[in-house]
Amino acid sequence: MEVEHIEIRDFLLRYPPFDTLPEDTLNHVASHTEVAYFKAGSRILEFGQPIHDLYIVRSGAVELYRRNGELYNRLSEGAIFGNFGLLMNGRTRFPATALEDTLVYFVPERIFHQLCEQYETFSDYVELENTARLRQAVSEVEHNNELMTAAVSKLLARELITLSVEATVHEAAQQMKEDSVSSLLLLNADGSMAGIITDRDLRTRFIAPRLSFDTPVKDIMSTDLISVDRNDRMFEAMLMMLRHNVHHLPVLHGRRPIGMLALSDLVRHESKNSLFVVGSIFHKNTVEELQALQNDVKASFVRMVNEDANSRMIGSAMAVIGRSFKQRLLELAEEALGPAPIPYCFLALGSMAREEQLIVTDQDNALILDNRFDPAVHDEYFQKLAQFVSDGLAACGYSYCTGEIMATNPKWRKPLRDWEAMFHDWIDNPKAEALLHSSIFFDLDGVWGETDWVEQLKTQILREAQASPRFLAYLARNALNRTPPLGFFKNFVMEQDGKHNNSINLKRRGTAPLADLIRVHALAVGSREQNSFERLNDMMETRILPEGSGPNLRDAMEFISMVRIRHQALDLEAGREPDNNIEPDSLSHFERRNLKDAFQVVINAQTFLKFRYQPKRSS
């Protein structure tokens, strides 16, 4: 190799996604890479300009802009750009300008696509890394982001390609080649879904182990299918892909498959806003690298607010980000400590489980362990794992729980049978004091490991809670402990706790009481949902609420949440540490008026809750 190519190779080796490529491949890339100089202030790419190369910042800095001229992102040494233009329609999405004197490497389009096809880690990175800032808009303005409101059916531009589950792998590969698709849905004789096969399955389960062409396709297919309904929103489909780490989702009409949605479909459709901050998390290899993403997370939060995303979308996005931090930390923990000696499930509790997490949050987590758990043999490992994850989360901005509801606490690190017994005792023998500190455990989600155990617990909880009016009455009583900050004459009642004197805590006095009372009703009607808005939907399908109060609760939750969210974003933009407190003087007239109306809805709902659930009254 020539000297300049060796220099290019050594540089690329330091940065993802090139750092995982084989040496021969990296040498090939370097030998075809060109370099150009851009003076500070000069334009590198114009919006809509045809693009034929992947751009890599060799030195200097580059700014990317949205089509309306607003700054989108600032890139430094090692960063890539132009990948979305190459992946979609071959045209520039984000205009680029040299912020300072800058050298840029150019990797030809042909080689870029070869790398995407041949190396999964490379394709995953370029598809997700720059989609790392999840943003969406739900306002009714002209530039509303359709991804957040449109149904996935809008993306189904071709007929669903299927194959019998009795076919061979060779037949499946031929079908995929003929139809130019990256996945096939495999059907049973009765037309029901049996599984899915993707390019990734062919590479990892067929080509790598050198199986015979006559291998039955069912031997290598994926059977744990995650699907979406044709009326689900694109936003929900994207969150589902990230949460389950899949790139293809069968689309159903009823129970009948009608299409296949791929991540690339969403990427091509998305033309204005980036989608996820999550992708970058899974490419970090140390706690320090994860910690460095805090500013990206904050920037993503502010961007969502400024683009008029609603609280449901922001809460879901921040929960997915938080869950991804946990998952990556657990991967790193297992790399450091070795494989777990017995199966386990890492739990998220509270706002993360409800997908109502914001930028100001602590960590609430726990561990379910296999029933073979022997403290003398196994607990040292799980204590270290819990400590690694908890410390990592704290480093990434998720503060330690002051109530010690964390897996580092031996009380919340126990086998499945003990969790089952604990929930049974809480429900069968309810005590006000015990439930006061345990209500958070009724919002639970499996983040890692044996997540089916969480579903078992949810089934038990719903079965026993619905059969125990006494438990619901105690839980309702505790839900009345936090009241809205509204006085007799509808004036705001201020906090008087020193640091936040003469302010209103919108979490403690607003969204938390709402989540508490919604939880009680949700358990009473047997809802398996965790999110408050989804629980409200289930509740409104029953007669458990007075007529009209369901939509009122939904509006109150949305408005209080958005005031809280907007003011946290304002704090971040002003360089202040965000919190949940707000001074009424900083509120607009519109916010003050509507907050009072929202708090009154909560007061009315708490009054109903008080009389709806009584120990001697059936639910």
Residue 213 has pLDDT above 60, yes or no: yes
Q: Which DSSP letter does residue 217 get? A: G
Give the pairing of strands 96-98 and 43-45. Answer: antiparallel
Average pLDDT, the chain: 84
Residue 134 has pLDDT above 90, yes or no: no
Say which residue, 584 or 80, is predicted with more confidence: 80
Which residue segments constitute the domains of the chain, with CATH numbers given?
Answer: 3-119 (2.60.120.10), 146-269 (3.10.580.10), 278-467 (3.30.460.10), 477-612 (1.20.120)
Residue 198 has pLDDT above 70, yes or no: yes
Q: Which of 25-29, 283-287, 384-388, 435-439 shows the lowest mean pLDDT across its residues?
A: 435-439
Give the pairing of strands 62-65 and 71-75. Answer: antiparallel
Q: Which of helix, strand or coil describes residue 182? A: coil
What amino acid occupies position 409?
A: N
Q: Sorting pLDDT into bands at 50, 70 and 90, what band is 183?
A: confident
pLDDT at 377: 94
Give the whole-number percent of the chain exceeding pLDDT 90: 41
Residue 103 has pLDDT above 70, yes or no: yes
256 burial via Cβ count (<10 Å: 0-12, 13-18, 19+): exposed
What amino acid occupies position 601?
A: V
Q: Which DSSP letter does residue 511 get? A: I
Q: Which of 94-108, 122-136, 168-182, 564-578 shows the lowest mean pLDDT across its residues?
A: 122-136
Residue 270 has pLDDT above 60, yes or no: no
pLDDT (tens digit per residue) in 418-433 = 999 999 999 998 887 7
How many Cα atoms are found within 13 Å in the side-chain-facing hemisphere of 117? 8
User: In Å, how far are 267, 386, 435, 506 from 440, measured between CA atoms?
Assistant: 36, 19, 9, 18
pLDDT at 75: 85
Q: Sorting pLDDT into bands at 50, 70 and 90, what band is 128?
A: very low
Q: Sorting pLDDT into bands at 50, 70 and 90, what band is 331?
A: very high
Q: Which of helix, strand or coil describes residue 219? A: helix
> What distance in Å separates the CA atoms of residue 20 and residue 158, rounded to the nearest whole number?
35
Residue closest to 199 by CA, chosen among 213, 220, 219: 220
Q: Sorting pLDDT into bands at 50, 70 and 90, what band is 127?
A: low
pLDDT (tens digit per residue) in 369-384 = 999 999 999 999 999 9
Residue 606 has pLDDT above 80, yes or no: yes
pTM tops 0.75, yes or no: no
Q: Across the strands, what pairs with 168?
A: 216
